[in-house]
Amino acid sequence: MPAEALRPSGQGFVSIVGAGPGPVDLMTLRARDRLQRAEVVMYDRLITPEVLALIPEAAERVYVGKALGYHSVPQTGIHALLVQHARMGRRVVRLKGGDPYVFGRGGEEVQALQAEGIAFEVVPGVTAASACSAAAGIPLTHRDLAASCVFLPGHLADDNATHDWAALAKSGQTRVFYMGLQRLPQIAHQLIAHGLAPDTPAAIVRDGARATQTVMATGLRDLVARALGYGPQPGLLIIGETVQLSPDFHPPAQ
């Protein structure tokens, strides 16, 4: 039984929905269903036009996207809007790229809804790490190359952020940095300083799983030099031995 069927009659309901990496055919059936029955849709910056086209014409659209250094609506404001619309008895969809629980602040929004007694559900989506790595031909794990993978936010490289870089520099793992492109030099510096080989395979995947996808893959130190022209655009950074399996991988110059 859908979670929404359990809501009290006349009360609103919030579906926190992961839209996946962009293409409509990589959305789950449940995500499409919730979106097509929505009365209010609060959506993020990276939602593609083809996904937005699924929203009913009668539904209210509320843009709450975020970019580095700019939030169109503060997170606390998003919480307040979710509660407000649900208390008006509406069927609300909080639409996020990827998966709500992987660097999507879905956990924070669930806490806010729980605190106000609002009925909700979470609909998972294909997260960028899975989508971009698959589209670029990079396994996240491999019996001979990587027994584990770790997902990390790019801002871990900030001066005021701390992390166990020595543990991240150890072999046998795939490291995936979300929105890590702008901080690639800092990330590479930290990993190499803590023992990671400078020629460790690494890749940047932009617009992963979309028609506009681009992949740059080589040794980590060379990647830093070659990626300077990418500018501030978002991208997924993947570092680890499995990157060498990508058809786009070019070994670093010796």
Q: Which residues are catalytic?
A: 44, 66
Alpha helices of the chain — where are they, by DSSP H?
Answer: 29-36, 49-52, 75-87, 106-115, 128-135, 165-168, 184-193, 220-226
Query: Exposed/middle/buried for 172, CB within 10 Å: 0-12, 13-18, 19+?
Result: exposed
State both tokens at 90.
């509406």
**Half-sphere exposure of residue 111: CA atoms within 13 angstroms, side-chain side:** 7
Helix (H) or strand (E) holding 76: helix 75-87
3-state secondary structure of 240: coil
Q: How far, CA to CA in Å, does 139 sit from each of 48, 162, 170, 235, 243?
A: 25, 28, 18, 17, 7
Q: Are 111 and 6 in contact (CB under 8 A)?
A: no
